[in-house]
Structure 1
């Protein structure tokens, strides 16, 4: 007869170190897509200015709506990248895949933040000219 330890004696196996990985990956994806949306908004803003200056095209606000929608998308993605990066870093607790991806997402957004802000301000400024 073999000895069976009590049921409370058994411990759970250690969990793999992936806490915060989903938030870190979301941060990286949002940090990469944010400047793409901002870059798309700039030509739409230029087209809106050109459309407003044209005497043949009266009352066409579709360019402005598109430019402002992409500028708002760029800002929203930048916010998502920062929030998800911070969640990944603080949720991980120790250096694991979640914390590393969160740090990478935050660093990508740190490089992109001034470019995204410049492009959004450029689009909003072009709206004042029209």
Structure 2
């Protein structure tokens, strides 16, 4: 007589949760977007200074519009980089490459955010009086 296991003995293999994939992807996004936001903030600084210097010139709105567009791009990049860095840090299972890269991206953005915020306020303060 052979042994027959009960019907519930054979189960489908359970899919294992892989938080590392999402953490890896978002950490790469954070690590790539953080330096890009820093690079965008350099011409933003020049445009902010130029728009502040040409504030009272009646027909020179190009600096202000350019600075406003660059400020929007820099703010959008920094928001996406910070959110993806936070997702990477919290989704990573342990201290793995995804978490470390997310922390590096957040560290870069911690330095950039204050400079970007200062330049955005400089651009908004030099409005052309619409």
Q: TM-score, normalised by structure 2?
A: 0.73
Distance 1:108 1:46, change over 3 A: closer
For residues 83-105 of structure 1, the C-alpha deviation after alignment (integer angstroms, 9 at most, x for no partner) is 00011112222221111111111
1:118 and 2:108 are equivalent in the alignment: no
Task: Give CA deviations for 1:17-44 in whole Å, capped at 9, x if unaligned.
Answer: 5541121111112111223222212222
* Closer/same/farther in 2, CA of residues 129 and 45 from structure 1, 3 Å limit: farther
* 8 A contact 1:18–1:96 mirrored in 2: no
Q: How many residues align?
A: 122
Query: How much does 1:48 deviate?
Result: 3.3
Alpha-carbon deviations, 1:45-92, whole Å to 9, x = none? 3333444544xxx53432222110001111111101110001111222
Give the RMSD, CA atoms, in angstroms: 3.1
Give the TM-score of the pair, scaled to structure 1.
0.73
User: Is residue 2:92 matched to residue 1:92?
Assistant: yes
For structure 2, the 5+ residue unaligned runs are 1-9
1:31 equivalent to 2:37? Answer: no
Moved over 6 A (4+): 7-12
- Distance in 2 between residues matched to 1:129 and 1:46, nearest whole Å: 17
Whole-angstrom distance in 1 between the partners of 2:29 and 2:70: 19
Q: How does 1:1-130 map to 2 (within 5 A)?
A: 18-54=21-57, 58-127=58-127
